[in-house]
Amino acid sequence: MADGLAMYDDMQQSSPEINVEEYAPLVKRIAHHMMVRMPACVQVEDLIQAGMVGLLEAAQKYDASRGASFETYAGIRIRGSIVDEMRRGDWVPRSVHRNARRVSDAINAVEGRLGRDATDQEVAEELGVELSDYHAMLADSASSRLFSFEESYGDDDGYSSGDSVSMPFVSPFDGFQRESLKQSLAQAITQLPERERLVLALYYDEELNLKEIGQIIGVSESRVSQIHSQAALRLRGRLSDWREQN
């Protein structure tokens, strides 16, 4: 954090109109919100420290002429900095990644046979495990970063007024692929079971935490985490055709 304080001193000189300390609560809110994708060994303080680096970089690079508010741009930078920290230290065991792929493949197989949404019990039977074991696999996969909008786009100096980052140069083919993925993902989300759509909307659009979502839909915080993970893995399976074609 000492490096972060040094950066802060520099930024006070380069961007005197931005009081970084005022946005510290934004860093904490985003860090707590992103804890859902972290394994138990990760402390929220680690995410807050990574987020502060992003906030300081945002204060240094923010350009009001681009149209976005500083809070919007800072939020992008904070999330990006936390994701970068996640990438540097992959705390998720390989077995979790393998099980996540197994779950996604099982969901895809059941839905391919039945032509409808697969239930928890049906997926567990496809995997050959007890329902409680399947739910444990979902809980583990919550930290495996399978469903991260932040990782879908590069983090660069360019930005838009929405919660995304624009690349300074993207080849026409890459741009087409990115837009195609976004459209396919959006379409796949509309076809999720109602409860899974609701959890994703409350988490990503409304930025509620798991406890708040659980209070709204009447289930425990751990069950919300399972629903979130299952939605991510269901989407992964349904987008497998897109990945093979592209």
pLDDT score of 131 more than 90:
yes
Amino acid identity for residue 234 in this structure: R
Dump pLDDT digits (tens) for 174-189: 445 566 777 778 888 8
pLDDT of residue 14: 41
Q: Which residue has the higher pLDDT, 20 or 131?
A: 131
pLDDT score of 203 more than 50:
yes
What is 2-88's CATH number? Answer: 1.10.1740.10
Residue range(s) occupied by CATH 1.10.1740.10 in the chain: 2-88
pLDDT of residue 182: 73
pLDDT of residue 169: 37
pLDDT of residue 150: 41
